[in-house]
Amino acid sequence: MLSHLFSKAEEIVFTATTVLGYDELAEKETDSLKQLFYDGWGSAVAECGHTWLRNQIKTKLAGTGVCVTFPWCPGQHEVDIRLQKELFALLKPEDIGITLSSSFMMHPQKSVSSFIGICHDVEMETLRACDFCGLRETCPTAYA
Contact positions vs ligand SF4 (CB under 6 A): 77, 129-130, 133, 135-136, 139, 141-142
d(CA 24, CA 140): 36
Cβ neighbours of residue 111 closer than 8 Å, sequence gap 6 or more: 16, 17, 18, 19, 46, 93, 98
Closer by beta carbon to ligand SF4, 72 or else 88: 72
Other beta carbons within 10 angstroms of residue 13's beta carbon come to: 17
Q: How far is the CB of 20 from ligand SF4 (least distance, A)?
A: 29
Residue 69: how many CB atoms within 10 A of its CB? 24
Nearer to ligand SF4, 105 or 139 (CB): 139
Closer residue to ligand SF4 in complex, CB, 45/142: 142
CB of 54 to ligand SF4, least distance (A): 18
Compute the least distance from the CB of residue 59 to ligand SF4, in Å: 27
CB 78 within 8 A of CB 68: no
Minimum CB distance to ligand SF4 smaller for 61 or for 130: 130
Minimum separation from the CB atom of position 77 to ligand SF4 (A): 6
SS3 label, residue 114: strand
